[in-house]
C-alpha cells in the first residue's frame, strides 16, 4: 500500500459521496462552457476548459488508481502527456491533441467508477482516506477556479440548481474587536482533523502580541471612498512593486468596476453590470490594492497568525488572555451551514458584511469563513520541519514565488475544504480570485 501521511480512517460511503458530489459540481460548472468554447482565449490566469476538466480526471487516475492501487496503465492511454500540470507548461495546454468533450467525459467516468469500485464496505483504510480526500478536495479547488474563469471571461453565472434568492440586505458592520496576545499554534495534529495539507504542518507555535482587528471585511463603499479620493493616482499610497503594477496596467479602480452615466459605480458580476452593492465586501482586488487602501486609511493587513487567532480562539474568562484550545470553525466544531457561512456557491454571490451573525467567532468577528477570501500580510512559506506530501507540487514550488497567504474562503469555496487553519496562496497581482481583505488597527 502507498505510504501516505497519517490520516484518520474515514467511512467509505462518505468518501464515495464526496467524490460524486465534487464531480457533479464540476460538470455543472463546465458543461455549458464546453458546448461553446473548448479552449477559450490564452490567458495566464485561466486554463483551457477542455484541458482543465481532463486534468481533474487525470489527478484522480494518477494518485488513486496509479499510485495507490498500482495500476500500470492510465484509464486513458498517454494521459500523463496531456494532463500532468507539473510537466506541461501553461501556454502549451492550448496546443495539445486533446480528446473530444465526449472522450474526456468518458475518461472521467471510467476513473471515478474504478475508484468507487475499490472502496470497501464500512471504513476505508488510512491510505484510501488520505488519497480520496486529496483527489476530491483538489477537484473542489478546480471547481472554484472554474468560477473565477467564468467571471474573468464574462460568462453567465453557473447553473448550480434552482436560481438562488438574492442575498438579503444586512448593512455594514463597523468597528474593531480587541484581541489579547498570547501563544498560538498554527497547523493541526494528525488526529485533530480528517485531512491536512502539507503546508499546514508540522504545527508551529508562535507568539502573538495584542491587536485590534475589524469585525468585518472592507466593503465596496469603503473601498469606493479610496478610489474617489484619487487613491489609484497617489504614488505615496503604493509600494514600489504596487506602483509598478498599477502603472503597467493603467488601473484606476478595481478590475470589474466602471462609472455609470450618472457618476455612480457599477461592478460586473459574471455577464451583467449592476449598481455597486455598498455593504458587500469588496472583491477581485489584489494584494497591492489592499495594501494601498490600508495606507490610505491608516490601517494594516493582519498577519496570518493574527487572522487565525481572531477566527479560531476564544477569550479567557476575564477577557485578558486567550483561552486554551482553538476552534476548527469560528463558531465551534459544527460543520458549515447556510445560516453560519456563505459557502458552497449556494447564493452565487457575496452578501452584506453584517449578514450571518450565527457564524461569528468567539471575539465577534463575522464572516471569517466564506463570502470572500481575505489577503494577509504574510508571505507564503513553510512551517519549520515542512515536508512535501504525496502531491509534491502542491506547496513546495511556490514558497519562493512572492505569494501571500489568504485565509477564510469565499462564496464559491466548498465547505468541506475550508476551516480556520486553511492556507491559500496567490501572487500579489492576482485580481481574478474572489478576494477582499480585513484590516487591523496600526
Write the pLDDT tens digit of every residue in 300-358: 999 999 999 999 999 999 999 999 999 999 999 999 999 999 999 989 999 999 999 99
Q: What is the DSSP string of 396-426?
A: GGGTTTT-EEEES--TTS-TTT--TT--EEE
Asked whether residue 34 carries a pLDDT value surpassing 90, the answer given is no
Is the pLDDT reported for residue 161 higher than 90?
A: no
- In DSSP notation, 161-205 reads SSPPPPPPP------EEEE--EEEEES--TTTSS---GGG-S-EE
Q: What CATH class does 166-442 carry?
A: alpha beta
Q: Report DSSP letters for 33-60, one per residue.
A: HHHH-SS----TT---HHHHHHHHHHHH
pLDDT category at 163 given cuts 50, 70, 90 is low
pLDDT at residue 300 in the model? 98
pLDDT value for 400: 86
* Residue 276 banded pLDDT, cuts 50, 70, 90: very high
Q: How far apart are CA 198 and CA 213, in angstroms?
A: 28
Q: Which residue has the cell 471504513?
A: 123
User: What number of other Cβ atoms are within 10 A of residue 223's Cβ?
Assistant: 28
DSSP code per residue over 219-264: BHHHHHHHHHTTTTT-GGGS-HHHHHHHHHHT-SS-TTEEE-TTS-
246, 238 in Cβ contact below 8 A?
A: yes
* Fold entry, domain 12-153: 1.20.120
Global confidence as pTM? 0.96
Is 80 exceeded by the pLDDT of residue 167?
A: no
The C-alpha cell 465577534 sits at 364
SS3 state of residue 268 = strand
Work out the pLDDT band at 165, boundaries 50, 70, 90. confident
> What average pLDDT does the segment 376-394 reach?
97
The Cβ-side half-sphere exposure at 150, using a 13 Å CA radius, reads 27
Mean pLDDT value of segment 180-205? 95
Report domain extents, the chain. 12-153, 166-442
Distance CA 266, CA 264 (A): 7
**3-state secondary structure (DSSP) of residue 207:** strand
Query: Residue 233: pLDDT above 80?
Result: yes
Amino acid at each position: 500500500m502507498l505510504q501516505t501521511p497519517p490520516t484518520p480512517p474515514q467511512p467509505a460511503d462518505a468518501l464515495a459521496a464526496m467524490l460524486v458530489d465534487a464531480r457533479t459540481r464540476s460538470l455543472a460548472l463546465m458543461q455549458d462552457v464546453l458546448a461553446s468554447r473548448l479552449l477559450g482565449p490564452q490567458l495566464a490566469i485561466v486554463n483551457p476548459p477542455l484541458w482543465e476538466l481532463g486534468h481533474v480526471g487525470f489527478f484522480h487516475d494518477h494518485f488513486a488508481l496509479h499510485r495507490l492501487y498500482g495500476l500500470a496503465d492510465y484509464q486513458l492511454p498517454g494521459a500523463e502527456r496531456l494532463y500532468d500540470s507539473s510537466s506541461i507548461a501553461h501556454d502549451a495546454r492550448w496546443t495539445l491533441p486533446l480528446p473530444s468533450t465526449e472522450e474526456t467525459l468518458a475518461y472521467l467516468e471510467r476513473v471515478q467508477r474504478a475508484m468507487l469500485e475499490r472502496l470497501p464496505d464500512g471504513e476505508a483504510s488510512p491510505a484510501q482516506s488520505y488519497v480520496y480526500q486529496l483527489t476530491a478536495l483538489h477537484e473542489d479547488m478546480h471547481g472554484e477556479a472554474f468560477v473565477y474563469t467564468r467571471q474573468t471571461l464574462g460568462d453567465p453565472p453557473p447553473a448550480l440548481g434552482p436560481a438562488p434568492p438574492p442575498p438579503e440586505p444586512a448593512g455594514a458592520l463597523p468597528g474593531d474587536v480587541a484581541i489579547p496576545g498570547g501563544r498560538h499554534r498554527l497547523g493541526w495534529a494528525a488526529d485533530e482533523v480528517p485531512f491536512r495539507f502539507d503546508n499546514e504542518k508540522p504545527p508551529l507555535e508562535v507568539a502573538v502580541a495584542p491587536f485590534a482587528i475589524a469585525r468585518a471585511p472592507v466593503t465596496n463603499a469603503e473601498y469606493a471612498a479610496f478610489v474617489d479620493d484619487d487613491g489609484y493616482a497617489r504614488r505615496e499610497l503604493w509600494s514600489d512593486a504596487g506602483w509598478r503594477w498599477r502603472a503597467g496596467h493603467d488601473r484606476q479602480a478595481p478590475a470589474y468596476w466602471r462609472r455609470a452615466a450618472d457618476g455612480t459605480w457599477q461592478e460586473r458580476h459574471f455577464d451583467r453590470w449592476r449598481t455597486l452593492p455598498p455593504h458587500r465586501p469588496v472583491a477581485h482586488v489584489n494584494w497591492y490594492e489592499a495594501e494601498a487602501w490600508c495606507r490610505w486609511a491608516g490601517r494594516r493587513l493582519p498577519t496570518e497568525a493574527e487572522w487565525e487567532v481572531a477566527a479560531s480562539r476564544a477569550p479567557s474568562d476575564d477577557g485578558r488572555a486567550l483561552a486554551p484550545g482553538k476552534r476548527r470553525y469560528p463558531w465551534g466544531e459544527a460543520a458549515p451551514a447556510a445560516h453560519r457561512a456563505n459557502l458552497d456557491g449556494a447564493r452565487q454571490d457575496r452578501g452584506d458584511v453584517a449578514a450571518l451573525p450565527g457564524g461569528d467567532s468567539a471575539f465577534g468577528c463575522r464572516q471569517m469563513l466564506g463570502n470572500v477570501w481575505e489577503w494577509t500580510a504574510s508571505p507564503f512559506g513553510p512551517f519549520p520541519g515542512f515536508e512535501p506530501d504525496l502531491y509534491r507540487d502542491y506547496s513546495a514550488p511556490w514558497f519562493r514565488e512572492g505569494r501571500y497567504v489568504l485565509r477564510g474562503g469565499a462564496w464559491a469555496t466548498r465547505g468541506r475544504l475550508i476551516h480556520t487553519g486553511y492556507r491559500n496562496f496567490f501572487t500579489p497581482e492576482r485580481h481574478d480570485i474572489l478576494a477582499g481583505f480585513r484590516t487591523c488597527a496600526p
